[in-house]
Structure 1
């Protein structure tokens, strides 16, 4: 289990999860690709566990952009929670041949999530995978806090 921190919140995930995402994003190389993050909090809300992810079926992408559409028939987060206990906690996508740092588009997407009345997620997580044609170069987890994306250390 890998642990990263921001303030008093620990983000916990298994390296295998990132490796699985990497294989999927390399398959879509040289275009960006991504999806949704699923997880749960510890009872005392000091740890957030990223347990799984979902892929999207409707999206547009290029080497510098990934825009997903939410298909509720496939991604019914309420049903996922009832069946698994996992919440929608954020987004993930790749940056082919680019840094694992967020763009202004990424920041706006996180702001849109927080502003959405039906989502009710105030601190979404963003994972960005920097990839080449055959490997993971770097990755960063960010948390949206007070209008900013802050990297987990």
Structure 2
């Protein structure tokens, strides 16, 4: 498995710890930045990770900013991306089981690193259930098609 990861300047510390956590599990990680704590804008990192996921350079993505909201909104503008902001392990798990999310986002100002690891682990260990949930994913794809052609 390969995971694309990105953050803005606020998420640097969490990003580095998440990379270590993932690599300790034998997961390959591609880091799309940011690489310094100098102020930067999150949309570029949300886009880079989203493009890596839809382009199949990575299986999944993880995004980090202050709250997880802005960076996930950026990623969700890319057709085929289903990014979710999570602050708890249960939501992360269900987001994969029911919504087949392909990017997980969280806020470094909202959750600590140990909770972030639990959220990531629940998300990675969950599997899409398909069935009735696939119909809903198809409906989301139809909305994307309507507006992005």
TM-score range, shorter chain: 0.3 to 0.5
Higher strand share: 1
TM (norm. structure 1) is 0.32
Which structure has greater helix proportion?
Answer: 2
